[in-house]
Structure 1
Amino acid sequence: MSEAQGNQAKAAGMIPPWRIGVDVGGTFTDLVMVDAQGALMIVKTPSVPANPGEGVLDAVRKAAANLAMPVEGFLAQCRLFVHGSTVATNTVLEGKGAKVGLLTTHGFRDSLEIRRGIRDNPWDHRKPFPPVLVPRYLRLPVRGRLDSEGAEVAPIAVADAVAAGEIFTREGVEAVAICLFNAYADGRHEDEAARALAESWSGEWVSRSSAIAPTIGEYERSSTAVMNAYVAPRVVTYLRDLAKELQRLGLPGALLMSQSNGGVVSVDQIADRPVNLVLSGPAAGVGAMTLAANALGDDNLISMEIGGTSCDVALMSAGQVATSDALEIDGYHLAIPSVEIHTVGAGGGTIAGVDAAGMLFAGPKGAGARPGPACYGHGGTEPTVTDAQLVLGRLAPGAYAGGSVTLDQERAREAIRTRVAEPLGISIEDAASGIIRLVEQHLLHAVERISVQRGFNPAGFTLVPAGGAGPLHGPSVAAMLGARRVYVPRQAGAFCAMGLLQSDVRQDYIQVFMRDLDGDVAAATQVAKAAQDGFAQLRARANEALTREGFTGDQAAYRRALDLRYRGQQSDLRVELPDGEAFDPALVRRLFEAEYARQFGHIQPGGAIQITSLRMAGFGLLPPLEAASAPASNQAPHRRETRRVWFPDGWRDTAIYDGSDLAPGQSIAGPAIVTEQTMTAIARAGDTLTVDAAGNFIIDLAERGAQA
C-alpha cells in the first residue's frame, strides 16, 4: 500500500494492519474489519447463493471502497483473513454433491442404507429416511478383515479394489469413500485399497474413514467418509479458487476457514477433510461468545443467533462450549468434532401462513436472499417475520441493514393481509403479532433444547441474542426462560463474522481406547501408563500439524479429554482433564460422576466405568481481540423520535434511539428501541438498557408482572 493510500485509510479512521472476517449467510454476507487499534468497520452485502465466493469478493470490494482504497491495497494490509462458509452445508441441503462410490468390507455393503434404525420420533413410522448418498450398485465390497485390535484376520484382496475402480470409471464416479471394518484400529487396509484403486480409477477425491473419523461405529464412520467424498469436489474447488483469487488481489497470507469445532484452519489442511466445514458459519459464534464473556465478565452465556433463515443456539458454561462427535445434517449422521449447536428454522426470513386446517404456522421454510421478505420489494409475496416486525413498528420503513435493502411497509401489510389475516378473519396487526408470538415459542423451545435438556437451568445464564433479528426477540425469550439479563453486542448483526476474528486455529485427534477405569493396583497402573502414552502420541500429531501452520512454543496449547461410560451403557460422556496433571483414575471417576450427576441427576455409586476414547485438541493461539472502550458519558441519551410499537403486552408509545448517539454509561428505561447498522435492539416496559464500556447493551429485565 502506498503512503497516499495509507493516509486515506487513516483519514477514514482505520489504522493498518487489520484483520478481516467474512461470514456468508443465507441472506447477507457479513464482513468485519478490525484495525490495529481495535476500531471496527462492518460491511453487509447480499449473499450470492449461486457463487458464494463472489459474495465474499463483493464484501471486500465494498470495504475497500469505504476506505477509498483499491482492493489490492486494502488486502495487502490484511494480516488475518478468516472465512466462514455455508458451501458444505448447502451442498448437502441442496443435494448438489458429487457422484460417490464406496469401497466397503465384504458383507457390509448395505450398512450405509440400514443405518442405526433409530428415529427421533419413535411414533412416526412413515417418514422416510433421506436418500442414501451412494446407490447400491456403487457400494462395492472388498475382501479382507482386521479384528477390533487392528490385527489382520484376512489379507485385503487388492484385486477387488482394482475391479471396483474399473466400475467407478465406467459409471462416471467423481469421488470415492473407503470404509473398511475396524479401520479405526488400523488404517493399513484402507491405505492399500486406496493405492489399488488408483490403478484403475484416476479421480482426485478419495476419502478414507481411518483418516477422517477413526471412531468406533462402522455406520457413522462410513456415513462421514461418504459425506466427505460427497462435498469435497465442490467445497475444496470453491475454497482453492477463492484463496487463489484473494492472493491474486494482494492478500499476503493464507485464507483460514472456520471449522465445525469452533476453530480455524488453513485451506491446505482442510482440503482432505472438507466435511469438517458443515457447521463452518454457526461455529464461529463460539469466538463471538468469548468476546462477549470477556466484555461482560460473565462466562455463563446462551447465544441465540438469528439470521435470515435460521436460529443457531449455543451454550457456554464456565467459559467452555461443549463439543460432540454426533452431528446430524439433513438426516445424515457424521462423526466429526463439532460444537454443540441446535438449529431451528426461525429467522427474519421465516415464512408464515395458514395451513389447510386453518392453523397459523411459521417456518421452517424461509424466503432466502432472493426474493427475501415481501417488504424487500424483490418479488417476494409470502409474509415473513421481518414483515411482521415492520407492521408492528419494531422496524421502520426505509433503508435497512446498512442500506443493503429498503423496507416497504405496504408490501409487508399486503402479504400478511392476504396470507394470514384474511384466512384467519383477524386484523393485520393481530396476524403480525401472532407470527411473532409463534416464532418466539419456537425460539424458547430451541434454547430449552440446549439448556434444560442437557442439565442446565437457563435462569442462571445471560442470554446473548445476535444476528440481525435476534435482539428484537431477546428480552421476551429471556423472560420466558426466567433469565434476568440480556447482553446485546453492538455488532450483533455480524456476530459470527466477529467470532471468526476471535477463533484460534484448532486440530482435533481421537484414539479409541477401550479400557476399564477400575481395577487392582497393577491394572490401574497399566491403564494410566497406556493412557499417558496414548495422549503423548495424540499430542505429537497435534504438535506436528500446528508446527506446519507456524505455531510453536507459547503459541500452541493443548487440551486432553476422555470419553467414558458406565459399563453396559451405549452412550458416552466427555470429561476434560486438568492441564499438566498425571492420569489419575480416582480424579477421572470424580469428574465423570460430577458430570453424570449434572446431566442425569444421579450416579451409580461404585459403578464400573469404562474408557472408550482419548481425545486431544491442539490450539494455535492467535492474538485475542481487545474489547474497545470509551469514556463514560454523563449526558442524557438523545431520543430521535417516538412511535407506536407492539409488545407482548400490547401497543405502547416507544422512544426510538440511534445507537450511534449512545455512549458508555448511558441508561434507557423501556419501552425503547435502539437502531444500529446491523441490528435493532428492543427493551420492554420495565426493562433497563445500559451501554457498557465496550459500547454494547446490557438489558436488565423487569420483574415478572412489572410490565403491566
Structure 2
Amino acid sequence: MIRVGVDVGGTFTDIILERSGAGAERQVVVTKVPSTPHDQSEGVVAGILKVAALAGVEPGAIDAVFHGTTVATNMVIERDGARVGMITTRGFRDILHMARHKRPHNFSLQFDLPWQSRPLVRRRDRLPVTERIMPPTGAIEVPLAEDEVRQAAELFARRGMDAVIVAFLFSFLNNEHEQRAKEIVKSILPDAFVSASSDVVNTIREYERFSSAAMNAYIGPKTSAYLSNLEARLRANGVRAMVRIMQSNGGISTIENSSELPIGLLLSGPAGGVIGGRWTGEHSGKTNVITIDIGGTSADISVIEDGELRIKNPRDTEVAGLPVLVPMIDIDAIGAGGGSIAYVDPGGAFRVGPRSAGAVPGPACYGRGGDAPTVTDAQVVLGRMDPEHFLGGDLKIDASLSEKAIRAHIAEPLDMSVEAAALGILKIINNNMALAINANSVAKGVDPRNFSLMGFGGAGPLHSVSLAEMIFAKDVISPVHPGITAATGLLVTDLQYEYTQSTLMVLNNAGEDEFGRVNAVLEDLVARANRQLDADGIPEKQRIFRQVAECRYVGQGFELRAEVPAGRLSGESAATVIENFYNAHKQVYGHAFRDQLTEMVTLRVIATVAVDTLKLPRLAKGGRGNPAEAEIYRRRTVFDNGEALETPRYRRDALLADDTVAGPALIVQHNSTTIVPPGYVAAVLEYGDMRIERTKG
C-alpha cells in the first residue's frame, strides 16, 4: 500500500509518502516543493512526482492521495469567488444584509460589516418568490409560485450567473419548496452551481443558513473546477490513485462530496496540522498540547486537551467575518510566518506582518526579486538558518540580500544595527503569536502551564522555545518532521461525514411522542450517512456512527455540543444528554445551572470510517550526550538575549533515541531547523520527536 499526503501552504507544498505491506519494511519519505498560487494543482502534482522519485516508486503504483488545500479559504479572503444569484421567500431578500443587527465592535466608529461592504450575493441578484412554510410543523401555508421561480432563473441566465442558491424560510422543517425550486433552476441553468440551503445546512436560524448556502455557492464553481483539474492532472501524469480531501472538521471526504459541499473545505489546510499534532503528541506521551503551525504566511493555533480536538462553538464558525454553520476544528489563524514583512509604518512604528512575501517573490534571501525584509531574513542574519542547509540545499539563499533588506528598511530608518533590527523583528512576531496563543488558550479556560507547546511548519521549531517562555508552557515538542506535520496529519485522519437536522425539544419533560419524533430524525440522518458510505463502497462493518445534540438552556441564544448515547433516544439517555450539556457548559463558561431546563436544538450524526494510520519506525537506541558523530560544524549564532555564541549544528537524522543535545545548538534537517537555546536540553524520543525543556539545576 502506497499513500501520499499533500498539504499546500502559502510558500511551500509539503508531501509525505508511506509505503507499507505484508512482510515489507515500512518506508516514509518526505519532501517540499514551492507552492504555485496561480494553480495549486501544479505544485501538488510536482510534489507527488518528486516524492515518488525519491521513494523509488512509479506514480502509477500510488494507491491513495490525501490532500489539504487552501483554495476555498483564499477565495473568500481575496473575494475571488463566483457571481451568485439567490431565490428566497418574498419579504426576506435582505436577510443577508441585515444579519443579526450585531456590531462586531460595540464602541468603534470604524468597524466594517463584511456582509454589507462585500456581500457574497449582491442585492440586485437576490430575487424573492411567493411561498411560505410555517413552524412548528413545516406545514405549507402558501404554495410555491413555480412561474416566479422560472422567471428568476431565466433572469439569472441572462445575467450569466455562475451559481444560484435557493433559500426559503423554515426549509429545515420542510424542504419540499426548496427542492422543487432547485429542480426548476437546474432545468434552466444546467451548467450553473445550484444548491438549496437545506442541502448545505439543515438547521434553524435563517441568516446563518442563508449565509452558509451563499458561501457554499460562492466557492463552489472554482473549488469543484480545481478538484476536477487536480484529478485530471494526476491522471495525465500517471497517478491513478484514489483522492481524498481534508475537511474543516478533521475528517476526509471524496472529491465528489467536496465538490458538492465545498463549504466543508474552508479550514482544510490548517486542520491537517492539528491532526498531525495530536498524532505526534500520542507518540510523545503528551495528551495536553498547544499546537502552532508556522508556515510562510500564517500561524495556525489550536489546543488539544486530553487527546481530544476542540470543535468550535457554532456561534464562532466564521470565515472572513461571515458565518458558516459547518463543524470546524477550533483553530485561530494570524498573519505571522516566515514570509511576514517587517516595515516602519507612516507613524514611525516598527511592525511585522500580516502582509507576507509569500512564495513569489518570497523573502529577500530567495533572490527572486523581493527586497522587503521578512522574518526568514531576520533568522538568516542572526545565523539561525544556514544557506547550505536551507531545505537541504534544494533552495539557494543569499544572506547578503537579507542583510541589505533589513539595513535599508529597518536598521537605517530606526538608527540601529542590523542585528538589533533582526532581533526586533523576531521579538515583535513572537509577541504577536504569543498573544494569539493566549487568546486560544487562557481566554478559553486553558492554562498553558499544564500543556506542551508543539511548533511545526517550516518555521515552527525556530520560534517554539521563545514562545514557550512567553506563555509559560510546560515544555516544547519538535515533531520528527516539523515542516510536513500538516501533510502527516492527512495520513492519520479518518473518512468522515456529518449530517444535521434542527429538532427542537425540551429534554427534561419530553414524552413518548417527542422521543418518537427525534428517533425518526436520527434514523433518517443515519440512512443519509449510509447512502453516502454505500456510494463510497465502504463495508458496513467498518462504519462508525456517533450522535451529538446541540443543546442550550431554554431561552439561551446559542448551543453547546453534548454527546448522545448510541441507539434510540429515551428518558434515560436524555438524562445523560442533559448531564453532558451541563458539563460542557461548565467547561466553557465556568458554571452550570443544573436546576434549569435543557433544550435540544439540533441533532447531528457523525459517520466515520477508520483508515490505516501512518506508522513510523522506532529509532535505534543511542543514549549519547551531544553526540560528536552528529555534529556538522559550528557557526556564530545570535540568541534572543542578543548574545552571539559559536553554536554547533547537529544532523537530526544522525540522532538516536535517548540522545540528548544541550544548548546552545541548532538541529538541522531538510524541512526545518530546531533551535535549542542556552539553558535548554533536547531529548530524542523513540520515534524521533524531541522534547525540549529547561536544564535542571
Q: Give me the TM-score of the superposition, normalised by structure 2.
A: 0.94
**Contact in 2 for aligned 1:163/1:200 (Cα 8 Å):** no
- Structure 2: gaps (5+ residues): none
- CA deviation profile, 1:307-346 (whole Å, cap 9, x unmatched): 0000111111222212234422222221112111110000
In structure 2, relative to structure 1, the CA distance for the partners of 1:688 and 1:44 (3 Å cut) is: same
Query: How much has 1:25 moved relative to structure 2?
Result: 1.1
User: Which amino acid in 2 is paired with 1:26?
Assistant: G
Q: Is the 8 A contact 1:162 1:199 kept in 2?
A: no
CA contact (8 A) 1:375 1:412 kept: yes
- Cα distance in 2 for partners of 1:607, 1:701 equals 48
Asked whether the equivalents of residues 490 and 676 of structure 1 are also in contact (C-alpha less than 8 Å), the reply is: no
* 1:389-408 deviations in Å (ceiling 9; x for gaps): 11112112335224342221
Report the Cα distance in structure 2 between the residues aligned to 1:200 and 1:511, rounded to whole angstroms. Answer: 29
Task: Pick one of 189, 192, 207 that aligns with 2:177.
Answer: 189
Residue 96 (structure 2) pairs with residue 112 (structure 1): yes
Q: Say which SS state the counterpart of residue 527 (structure 2) adopts.
A: helix
Match of 1:640 in 2: 632
SS in 2 for 1:23: strand
Tell me which moved more, 573-582 or 98-107. 573-582
* Worse-matched range after superposition: 579-588 or 454-463: 579-588
Residue number among 602, 618, 625 corresponding to 2:607 in the alignment: 618
SS of structure 1 residue aligned to 2:184: helix
Q: 1:129 aligns with which of 100, 108, 113?
A: 113
Measure how far apart 1:120 and its partner are: 3.4
What is the deviation of 1:32? 0.6
Question: Which stretch of the first structure deviates more once superposed, 154-163 or 240-249?
Answer: 240-249
RMSD: 1.9
Conserved? CA contact 2:29–2:55, under 8 Å: no
Q: Which residue of 1 aligns with 2:595?
A: 606
Using the alignment, how far apart are the partners of 1:86 and 1:294 within structure 2?
27
8 Å Cα contact 1:479/1:701 also seen in 2: no
2:578 corresponds to 1:589: yes
Partner of 2:498: 508
Partner Cα distance (1:113, 1:362) in 2:
34
Letter in 2 for 1:431: A
Q: Deviations over 1:471-492 (max 9, x none)?
A: 1111121222222221111211
Matched to 1:51, the amino acid is D
Q: Which amino acid aligns with 1:534?
A: V
Separation in 1, partners of 2:561, 2:329: 13
**Which residue of the partner structure matches residue 649 of structure 1?**
641
Other-structure match for 2:489: 499
**Within-5 A mapping of 1:660-679:** 660-679=653-672
Contact 1:486 1:701 in 2 (8 A): no
Residue 144 (1) aligns with residue 131 (2): yes
Q: 1:185 to 1:44 in 2, by over 3 A?
A: same
Contact 1:101 1:176 survives alignment (8 Å): yes
Partner residue in 2 for 1:284: 272
Shift of residue 204, structure 1, vs aligned partner:
3.0
Q: Which amino acid aligns with 1:126?
A: Q
Secondary structure (helix, strand or coil) at the match of 1:632 reads coil
Q: Is the 8 A contact 1:44 1:402 kept in 2?
A: no
Q: Does 1:354 align with 2:344?
A: yes
Q: For the structure 1 residues 491 and 112, does the alpha-carbon distance in structure 2 shift closer, same or farther, using more than 3 Å as the test?
A: same
Counterpart of 2:298, as a letter, is S
Partners of 2:567 and 2:144 in 1: CA distance: 42
Distance 1:580 1:202, change over 3 A: closer
Q: 2:561 aligns with which of 551, 554, 574?
A: 574
Aligned-residue offset at 1:248: 4.0
Structure 1 residue runs without a partner (length 5+): 1-16
Structure 1 letter corresponding to 2:664: P
Q: Give the whole-Å Cα distance in 1 for the aligned partners of 2:100 and 2:208.
A: 9
One-letter amino acid of the counterpart of residue 450, structure 2: G
CA deviations over 1:39-65 (Å, ceiling 9, x no partner): 221121111111111111111222233
Distance in 1, Cα, partners of 2:604 & 2:198: 15
Query: CA deviation digits over 1:262-305, x for unaligned, max 9?
Result: 11111112221112111111111233123213211222211100
> In the TM superposition, what is the alpha-carbon distance from 1:647 to its structure 2 partner?
2.5
- Code of the residue aligned with 1:122 in structure 2: it is N
Count of residues in Structure 1 that have an aligned counterpart in Structure 2: 681
Aligned to 1:563: 550
Looking at structure 1, the residues matched to 492 and 501 of structure 2 have their Cα atoms a distance apart, in angstroms, of 29
Counterpart CA distance in 2 for 1:410 and 1:118 is 51
Q: Which residue of 2 aligns with 1:477?
A: 467
Distance 1:218 1:459 in 2: 42
Partner of 2:616: helix, strand, or coil? Answer: coil
Deviation string, structure 1 residues 617-656 (Cα, Å, up to 9, x no partner): 1101101122321221144423222333232333142332
Are the equivalent residues in 2 in contact too, given 1:475–1:701 (CA < 8 A)?
Answer: no
Secondary structure of the residue that 1:424 maps to in structure 2? Answer: coil
Aligned counterparts of 1:22 and 1:58: Cα–Cα separation in 2: 11
The alpha-carbon distance between structure 1 residues 529 and 462, as it changes in their structure 2 partners (threshold 3 A), is farther
CA–CA separation in structure 2 for the residues paired with 1:224 and 1:150: 21
Does 2:4 align with 1:24? no
Whether the 8 Å CA contact 1:518–1:524 is kept in 2: the answer is no
User: Mean alpha-carbon deviation: is it higher for 136-145 or for 244-253?
Assistant: 244-253
- 1:539 pairs with 519, 526, 539, which one? 526
Give, in angstroms, the shift of residue 530 of structure 1.
4.0
Match of 1:692 in 2: 685
* Bigger mean CA offset, 85-94 vs 411-420: 85-94
* Partner-residue secondary structure (3-state), 1:698: strand
What SS does the aligned partner of 1:612 have? strand
Please give the secondary structure, in 2, of the residue aligned with 1:641.
strand
> Does 2:59 align with 1:75?
yes
